[in-house]
Structure 1
């Protein structure tokens, strides 16, 4: 279903309710530059280290598109699990997993309080940016502690830049990108208003420092388009 959530006046701040869940896959593909390519890149990175029984945990797994794609490409049986705090998203995810006969565990959970234990790979695609900054910092510490010694954390985020002029230019470029994907000026403005003080991005440096402060020793960026970046952090 095509995303038309913001083609009418907004009545509330952005949330992952049924209206968003019903169009979420389309929203991601059209709103996040190179989203499909980034998903494939992360999957390829995981497959390069695939091993029987290896645990892959997806935070903010939404409709399970990422996990289903990973499931369809893995050569050995890994343990795939998705966490989400939106029942509407999980309902969609469960329907899709059943339709594809995919053995993927899904759980309604708050990632801030979830008990992370002996995780091998944790993925969070455009998820951390919706968590309040102080809680985000504490979450990364929990993730680090919950990963195995050779564990890996892969996350994608929208970022801001310290150079305010450059930041404004890149935002304008991003809005032109969205127009090219079929969104109107009105829809772009409506979503921007709905996301104000809901989506709070860090700079690239702040994301890297947050991981270092949590204990991660090796942090790299593996993809960037304007203000969208994918990071890999290893213990």
Structure 2
């Protein structure tokens, strides 16, 4: 695993964060050192896939990056005639994900596509994963995407949505931010790296609070929705149709 040192030296002209080839090269290290509970979330995605995947259905990984969630889903499908569709708008991500997918043999088809998840069709879905992706989509497009997921889902299907949260209470926000900063420091990130990455993500990663996510899923039509895992300001929601 290549170590993430993208922001270890000073950048005079710091551009907005992009999922380009430089990020792709260090992405597994970056996300494991930046997102508390990431591996636990992947394990949970596998278990929930095992429980809720329906035969003769499609499973979606929307914003798949390197395909970690899609591969976890594929390892845990136990019913017949399932197909996994993994989509990302980054060409570099899809190219590298293709290498990872080809390294693991499975009878479950896994199709990688480069594209905009806001524009693709969701059909016959029993499991849909949006793992730390909605936060990078324009806020005004988020409800329509969740609506589309619900409408393309079989009864009994699930949405697993993982996101960085913010808290409306200022004291709570400061406390949770401090814990997250300490998490990154303990994983070897310097103050320069933390500061520069935060600047690069500003206006690119726009988080919602817990209530906004739950209301969005309720408005889409989901009968059941709640947080199944949370670590600091990172949470994963489960919504059931």
Q: If the length of structure 2 is used for normalisation, what is the TM-score?
A: 0.93
Q: Aligned with 2:15: secondary structure? A: coil
Deviates more, 1:209-218 or 1:95-104: 95-104
- Structure 2 counterparts to residues 33-182 of structure 1, below 5 A: 33-77=36-80, 78-102=82-106, 103-182=109-188
Deviates more, 1:70-79 or 1:92-101: 70-79
Q: Aligned with 1:42: secondary structure? A: helix
Matched, 1:193 2:192: no
Q: Aligned with 1:100: secondary structure? A: coil
Q: 1:210 aligns with which of 210, 216, 226?
A: 216
Q: Aligned with 2:103: secondary structure? A: helix
Alpha carbons of structure 1 residues 128 and 55: separation in structure 2 relative to 1, 3 Å: same
Following the alignment from structure 1 to structure 2, what is the Cα–Cα distance between the partners of residues 75 and 117? 20
Following the alignment from structure 2 to structure 1, what is the Cα–Cα distance between the partners of residues 165 and 139? 13
Q: Aligned with 2:40: secondary structure? A: helix
Following the alignment from structure 2 to structure 1, what is the Cα–Cα distance between the partners of residues 154 and 54? 14
Deviates more, 1:173-182 or 1:50-59: 50-59
Contact in 1 for aligned 2:32/2:39 (Cα 8 Å): yes
Q: Aligned with 2:112: secondary structure? A: strand
Deviation per CA, 1:131-163: give whole Å up to 9, x if none: 111111221111111112222111111001111
- 1:51 CA drift (Å): 4.1
Deviation per CA, 1:13-42: give whole Å up to 9, x if none: 001100011111111111110100111012
Alpha carbons of structure 1 residues 39 and 200: separation in structure 2 relative to 1, 3 Å: same
* RMSD between superposed Cα atoms in Å: 1.4
Q: Aligned with 2:70: secondary structure? A: helix
Contact in 1 for aligned 2:69/2:129 (Cα 8 Å): no
Contact in 1 for aligned 2:52/2:126 (Cα 8 Å): no
Following the alignment from structure 2 to structure 1, what is the Cα–Cα distance between the partners of residues 83 and 9? 41
Following the alignment from structure 2 to structure 1, what is the Cα–Cα distance between the partners of residues 130 and 83? 16
Contact in 1 for aligned 2:124/2:154 (Cα 8 Å): yes
Contact in 1 for aligned 2:162/2:237 (Cα 8 Å): yes
Matched, 1:8 2:12: no
Q: If the length of structure 1 is used for normalisation, what is the TM-score?
A: 0.95
Q: Aligned with 2:60: secondary structure? A: strand
